[in-house]
Structure 1
Amino acid sequence: MDDSEKKKLSESDICDLFISPAIRDAGWDPMTQIRREVTLTPGPVIVRGNMSSRNKKKKKFADYVLFQEPSVPVGVIEAKDNNVGVSHGIQQALGYADILEVPSAFSSNGDAFASHNKVPETGEDIETEFSLSEFPSPNSLWERYKKFRGIKDEDERLILQPYYEDPSGKEARYYQVEAINRTIEAVANGQKRALLVMATGTGKTYTTFQIIWRLWKAGEAKRILFLADRNILVDQTLVNDFKPFGAVMTKVRNRKIDPSYEIHLGLYQALTGPDESDKIFKSVSRDFFDLIVIDECHRGSAAADAAWREILEYFSDAIQIGLTATPKETKYVSSTEYFGEPVYTYSLKQGIDDGFLAPYKVVKIDIDRDVEGWTPPPGMTDDLGAEIDEREYNRQDMDRILVLNQRTKLVATRVMQLLKATDPFSKTIIFCEDIDHAERMRKAIVNAAGPLALKNPKYVMRITGDSVEGKAELDNFIDPESKFPVIATTSELLTTGVDAKTCKVIVLDKTISSMTTFKQIIGRGTRIDEEHNKYFFTIMDFKGATDLFRDPDFDGNPVVIYAPDIDDDPVPPDPPDDPDGDGDGPDDEGPVGITKIRVSGVDANIIAERIEYLGPDGTLITESYKDFAKKQVLSEYASLDEFIRNWNETDKKRAIIEELEEYGVLLENLAAEVGKDFGDFDLLCHIAYEQPPLTRKERANNVKKRDYFTKYGDQARAVLSALLEKYADEGIMTIESAKVLRLQPFNSIGTPMEIINDVFGGKDQYEQAIKELEEQIYKQADA
Structure 2
Amino acid sequence: MQKEAKARIKINKLLEQSGWRFFDNEKGKANIVLENNIKITRKNLDEFGNDYEKTKNGFTDFLLLDEKSFPFVIVEAKSEDKNPLDGKEQTRKYAQSQNVRFVILSNGNLHYFWDLERGNPSVITKFPTLESLHHTDSFQPNPSTLVNEIVEDDYIARVQNPLFDRDPRWSNDKTRTDYIHESGLKFLRPYQLDAVHALQESVDDGHDRFLFEMATGTGKTLISAAVIKLFLRSGNAKRVLFLVDRLELEEQARKNFVKYLKNDYKVVIYKENKDDWRKAEIVVSTVQSLSFDNKYQRLFSPTDFDLLISDEAHRSIGWNSRAVFEYFVGYKLGLTATPKDYLKYLDPEKVSKKDPREWERRQLRDTYITFGCERGTPTFRYSLIDAVRDGYLVNPVAVDARTEITTELLSEKGYSVMVENEDGNKVEHIYYHKDFENKFLSEETNRIFCKTFIENALRDPISGEIGKTIVFCVSQNHASKITQVLNELADRLYPGKYNSDFALQVTSNVQDSQQFTINFTDTSNNLSGHSRFLEGYKTCKTRVCVTVGMMTTGYDCQDILNICLMRPIFSPTDFIQIKGRGTRKYDFTYSMKDGIDNEIIKKSKDKFKLFDFFANCEYFEEKYNYNEILKLPPRTTYSGGGDGGDNRISEYENLNTDPLISFSEYAVCPEGMKIDRMFFDKFETVIKNNQFIKENIEKENFDVIEEYIKSKVFEKPEDYFNLDKLRKSLRIDRRISLREMIEKIFGKISAFKTKEDLLEEEVERFISIHKPESREVPLIRNFIKAYITDNEVRDIIESKEFGRFSTNTQISMKDFRELKKWREMIPEYVKDYVSLNKFL
Q: TM-score, normalised by structure 2?
A: 0.45
Which structure ranks higher in relative contact order (CA pairs < 8 Å, sequence separation ≥ 6)? Answer: 1
Q: TM-score, normalised by structure 1?
A: 0.48
